[in-house]
Structure 1
Amino acid sequence: MRIILVLLWGMLMGSCSPSGSGENPWAGYATHKETGRLAWRPVSKARYGACIDATRWEMSSESAGAASYRPPLGCGYSGNQYWRVWLVNQLAANMDDFECIARFSDKAAAADGHRYSPVLNGFPRETESYRCE
């Protein structure tokens, strides 16, 4: 049983590339200082730890807009399989930061391995491009 848990955890953290997700399934987010709302940042990585590190670095750098963001920060996982996206975010991400897991209607999202993705709190549950499942 312990071996199964170690293998599952390794796959979820990115040491094994799970099928059905894009090359960089982890996207970073942080809190906007003025509005207090969570917002996606220009960070996408293959592994959760690398995403968290890159999001922290991006906020501390001199990049455009970095000074406008603060912790709390985090990363959300996206992929083409709803239950995998839900499970990985349940186990690794902070689900309290997410409104839901949404299904994107854009065919390019599926081709890129991002048909299902978390929606940050405060954003609509449905738009022209996605709807919460």
Structure 2
Amino acid sequence: MKTILKTISIIIFISMFILSCSKNEHGGIDSKYAGTYKGDATIKTLSGVTMCTGTFNVNSDGSVKGNLFNENYKKSYTVSKSNLEKQSDNKYTAKQNLGCYIINYIFTFDGNNMSVNIEDINEGSTTEGTFIKE
């Protein structure tokens, strides 16, 4: 009986170890989505709605860098691969806690399109847009 319990415990321990290692190893967005995406976004705040043009780069290491801008607005985003968590084959989320500054990201891929949803808690803004891979 002790041998069976030891064996089961060891199997569970090894399984948990392998799962935790594989999750860390695959941080970031899958390389199949790497590339430059361009498109438009809508930024909603308490004071109104702003339309922007933007570019997001999904880097081969799984990180993301983006810029949104118009004549009166400019915002840059950088999300490291260690902050990105794979939710499904085409959906990734990230939460950045920069001191007291919190930003939530959702990146969803569909063919050559990447949909972006960014919730900036401190600014009280939500950014949504669809970007097409070049």
Q: Name the TM-score, length of structure 2 as normaliser.
A: 0.36
Q: Mark the structure with the bigger radius of gyration.
A: 2
Structure showing the higher strand proportion among its residues: 2
